[in-house]
Amino acid sequence: MSEANKQFEYFSLRVKPLLETLYDKKTAAHFLERLYYLLKEHFADRVDENLNKWTENNVQLITYGDSILKEGEKPLVTLDRFLDEHIRDTLTGVHILPFFPYSSDDGFAVIDYLKVDPQLGDWEDIQRIAGKFNLMVDLVINHVSSQHAWFEQFKQGIKPGCDYFIEVDPATDLSQVVRPRSTPLLAKVNTVKGEKHVWATFSEDQIDVNFANPEVLLEYVKIILFYIKKGAKYIRLDAVGFLWKKIGTSCIHLPETHTVIRLLREIVQMLDPMVALISETNVPNRENLSYFGNRNEAHMIYNFSLPPLILNALLQGKSDHLKTWMMSMPPAPIGCAYLNFTASHDGIGLRPTEGLLYEDEYQTLLEKMQEFGGKISMRNKSDGTEVPYEVNISFFDAMQGTVKGKDKWQIQRFLCSQTIMLALEGIPAFYIHSLLATPNDLEGVEKNGRNRSINRYKWNYEELEKRLKNPKSPQSIVLKELSRRIKIRRKQPAFHPNATQYTLHPLNKALFVFWRQSIYRDQSIFCINNLSDRTQKLRLSDLNLFIIDPWCDLLSGHPIENLHDKFTLKPYQCAWITNKF
C-alpha cells in the first residue's frame, strides 16, 4: 500500500465513525473525502499524540487587542510593546480576544473570521506576538454576525449561506431550550422570500449556524486550518456547548456537540500535535467536566467554578466550600488540563456555583458585589423567570472587603486570590486587568449600556506607564508582586499542570491548604493560604513534612528551621513550603 493510501486509511479510521454519528453514511463518505483533500497537504510529519504540550512553565495572559491604547499607534503594536516591556519574562502565552471585524459584543459577533480588524492592526501584528508567545485564538463557533457574508447570502437566498442557518416557526415550543441571556431566542429577519425567524442564542446580531449541514462543519475546519497556519497554539471554542440544536431538547451539551469536538480534536491532532483545543462552557461543574470526554474531546477546559468560589471564600474568610469543591474535582486526564482563572473579559459566572454555596452565602455574595460597585446580569429560565447569571465587576474591586464591609486589605486579599489560582492543578491564566489591578470602569458601563464593560477598561499607555513607575500605586504593587510569584511558580516541577494535588484539612477554616507533588515525586509543595483579615497559625507537624529534608517557604524565602514550630501567617499571606529549592 502506498504512503498516500496509508494516510487516507488512517484518516478514515479516525474520522469516518464520527462523521457517521453526525450524518447519514452517504453524506459522511462524501465529506470524508472532501475533508481529506482539504487537509492532506497540511498533515504533520508525526501524528502521535503529544502528551507534553505544557509544563509548570506555562502561564497565560488574556487580553483584548486594544486593552492598552497609544495615540497614533495601532493597538496591536502598543500591546506588543507592553508585552515586551512588562510581560516577556513573566508569561508564556497570550490569548488575544476576538481581533476580527465585528458588529457587537466586543468582538464575539464576527463579520469575517479570516481578517484582522484594521482598527487593531493586521495579521503581521498578530504573528509578531505569536512569534514570542503561545497564541490563543478564539473560534466563535456557535454563531456569526448578522453582517457576515453568509447571513447576507441567507437574506438574498444565495448559496452557500442560504443553507447555513436555522429557520424556526415562531409558534414552535422552545421552552426546554437553556438560555444564557434574557434576549429572544429567535431573531426576525426580512429576506427576499419574506419574513423569517432564525435561531439566535445570544442576540439578534449573533445568528447561530447550523452544524446539521456538513458544509458548515467544513467551513469551520477551513478556519481552524487557517489559524494554525497563522501560528495559533491554542484554539478556544467559544460558546461551544450550544453548538447543536434539536427541537424538543435543552439544546446544550447534546451528544452531537461532543462528537463535533471529538472530530475537531482528531483533525487538529493530525495537523499539529502541539495545538490544543479549549472548550468555553460557563455551566455547572459536572456539565463543564464532560468536555474532557474520554480524554478525546477538549485538551483544556476552563475551571469556571474557581472564580466565584475563591471570591466567596475570601468574602467569608473560610475555606469549607473551596475544599469541598476541590475534593470533588477529578485529576485532569492525561493529555488534558484545567485552565485556571479568576477573571476574564466576561463576568464571574454564577451557574458554576449551583449546588456549591449555601443560599444565604449566595445572596450575601450578590449584595456585597453590588456594594463594591458591581452589577448583576440576569438570564431567563425555561419557566420564564429571571435569575442571576453573572456578577460583573473588576476582580480587583471585588476584593475591596469582606462580609463585614470594605477594609484596608484589598491588595493583600487580591494577591491571595491570585496566588491560590497560581498553585492549583492546571494552567494559570491572568486577565490583563488583574495583572494591572484595574478598578471598575463605571464610566464604560454608562457609555456602552452593558454590564460587562465594567471589566473591559482601555488603558491610556502613557497613564499606565506613569502608574507602573509609581511604586505606591496599586498597578505597580500588583504587577511587580504577581510577576515575582509567577516567576517562582514557573520553576517548580510540583506545579506541573498534571502534578498530584491533595486537599488538606487543618481545623482552622480560615486556612486553605493543599499539597502538590511533582510527577517524578521529587518535589512537594505545601500551599498554605490565610483567607482571613487576622493573623493565623498552623502547626507544621500537621503537614507531615518529611523530617529528612530541609524545607523553605518559596514566597518569603525563609527556611523552616524547626518542623515542630507553629507557622505564622499574616492576614491574607500565602506560603509555598517545599523540600526542593
Query: What is the set of active-site residues?
Result: 238
Kind of pairing between the strands at 401-402 and 405-406: antiparallel
The reply to whether omega before 160 is within 30° of 0 (cis) is yes
Cell of 523: 518535589
Q: Is 227 helix (H, G, I), strand (E, B) or coil?
A: helix
SS (H, E, C) 514-545: EEEECCCCCCEEEEEEECCCCCEEEEHHHHCC
Q: How far apart are the first and last CA of the chain?
A: 55
Alpha-carbon span 59 to 566, nearest angstrom = 33
Nearest 10 degrees: Cα torsion 551, 556, 561, 567: -100
Cell of 411: 491588595
Cell of 69: 491604547
Task: Report whether 328 contacts 309 (CB < 8 A).
Answer: no
Alpha-carbon span 393 to 559, nearest angstrom = 39
Within 10 A of 54 (CB to CB), how many other CB atoms are there? Answer: 22
Q: DSSP states of 112-123 as a string?
A: -TTS--TTT--H
Kindly give the interhelix angle for 25-39 and 255-271, rounded to the nearest 10 degrees: 30
Please count the residues of the chain: 581
